[in-house]
Amino acid sequence: MYMKKIRVLLIIIVLALFIGCEKILEMDIEATAPMIVVNAAINPDSVITVSVTRSMHILDNSPVIRLTNANLEVYEEDNLLGSLQHWREGVFKGSFYPQTGKKYTIKVSSQDLPDAEASCVVPYPPISLGIDTLSIYDEYNNRTMQYTYRFKDKANERNYYHLFAMRRYKYYEYDPDSFSIDTIYQNQDTVIVDTTWGNEIPKMRFEPLWINSDDIIVSQNLWSDNGVIFTDELFDGQNYNLRLNSDSYFPGEDTITVYFYFKEITEELYKYYNSHEEHIYAKDDPFSEPVIVYSNVEGGVGIVGAFSQKVDSLRFYAPDYWGGSSWGEPIYYE
């Protein structure tokens, strides 16, 4: 009985000390001057497009401020190529396509904000050698697909890569407002028809095919941006076979086409993808140090990089590769 009283007393003391040690810390986060935020990933297949917004305080929960009246100039090497015109929601477009091997500088100015600029050199396209496939079963006996992407690296230069995949397939969606008319009986004077409301309407879906890899060359599996990024540090100038894992949930009843986008990206884009992924991991981990997302914009923040890509595709008959599980919502319908 005596020992029991002592235990209760010790518990009360510990609780009192715990509550007594609680302290509220007040932090005065200094407000920094707003800056221009510039984001662009230019490539030879599209006209130069740039998103321009304004930076905000870390505690500001207001909607993103998109700058619609900014002035954007694009330089090819040291020559003024032209200005970009506002398209919509802070996105500016030009009428010119960047060329591989050339340096482009984007200069942005806006009233009451410091000028910002960033540069990058458009890389040459990567060298794709083909894709091999293998249907396997996971530990839950679900059928999954494994891909081997074969490519050749360019020698004596540092190369940065981003590989991701998309899939396109037909599916059927119920539409209660649609109807069909079938002729049941017809003679010279009489026509009897059957009108059915609600039908399965065929549609096309284009969505990410989530791929990842355990290969030693892979720097990051980009769960937030899709795909994998890596460099040629371990295989400079060599042919390489990169093994990829994926889900194989093909819910369509028809054939499915898988597209592989193999990009050679600039060092700026590589650093951005890498730091952004680490930032996503760190922000949800209370024991991790904060990770600053890489920026190459002088006088502002954001990322301006470039890429060139090679697109390969594979076509499957969907029922042959049914399995796995669904991965998120589609990007768009058509």
pLDDT tens digits, one per residue of 146-190: 899 999 999 999 999 999 999 888 877 777 777 677 777 777 777
DSSP letter (8 states) at residue 17: H
Report the alpha-carbon distance of residue 158 to residue 86 in Å, rounded: 35
pLDDT tens digits, one per residue of 68-101: 999 999 999 999 999 999 999 999 999 999 999 9
CA-angle at 311, arms to 307 and 313, nearest 5°:
160
Per-residue model confidence (pLDDT) at position 51: 97
Task: Find the largest Cα–Cα distance for the chain.
Answer: 107
pLDDT band at 12 (very low <50, low <70, confident <90, very high): low
Q: In terms of Cα–Cα distance, which of 75, 44, 81 is closest to 306?
A: 44
Per-residue model confidence (pLDDT) at position 222: 93
**Spans of all domains in the chain:** 36-121, 127-292+307-333
**Chain length of the chain:** 334
Least trusted range by pLDDT, from 43-57, 106-120, 283-297, 319-333: 319-333
Q: In terms of Cα–Cα distance, which of 152, 72, 140 is closest to 105?
A: 72
CA R_g for the chain: 28
pLDDT band at 333 (very low <50, low <70, confident <90, very high): very low
pLDDT tens digits, one per residue of 185-215: 777 777 766 677 677 778 888 888 889 999 9
Average pLDDT in the chain: 83
- Residue 321 in this model has a pLDDT that exceeds 60: no
Tokens, residue 232: 């040629």
Burial letters 35-73, b for 16+ CB under 10 A, else e: bbbbbbbbbbeeebbbbbbbbbeeeeeeeeebbeebebb
